[in-house]
Amino acid sequence: MSDAVRIEHSNNDKFAQNGQSVYRWTVTQLPKIAKQIIERAGLAPEEIGAIVLHQANLRIIEPLAEKIGAPNARVATDVVYSGNTSAASVPLALSKMMADEPLPRAPRPCCSPLAAA
């Protein structure tokens, strides 16, 4: 991950990302982390009712959600309508998802503020 995100020290300190490295890390490492979290919560992926990830890039959200392996989950794709709203993307996407069609009581959402950087 160190080659994906860096702070450039110059006249104006800048935060920079290497898009390919961020994409590669996100779609290979975050599914493993999400599966561990689901397991530690005592759940199976089939019990996840929604996947709500940071809404920055649909090309990352879709494969990441697929690799998490929750076949019954609705996947939030609010980025299509709202764009990347930074730190607000997860609560906004969850709110939009619930407004469109509330989740049944039993299914649990899997939310991540990381993911699609």
CA distance 19 to 37: 26
Closest by CA position to 80, among listed 33, 49, 116: 116
Q: What is the pLDDT of residue 27?
A: 86
Please, which contacts does 78-81 make with residues 24 or more away whose CB atoms are closer than 8 Å?
A: 79/55, 79/116
Q: Which pair of tokens denotes residue 32?
A: 């493993």
Judge if pTM exceeds 0.85.
no
The band of 24, judged by pLDDT with boundaries at 50, 70 and 90, is: confident
Give the residue with greater pLDDT, 95 vs 108: 95
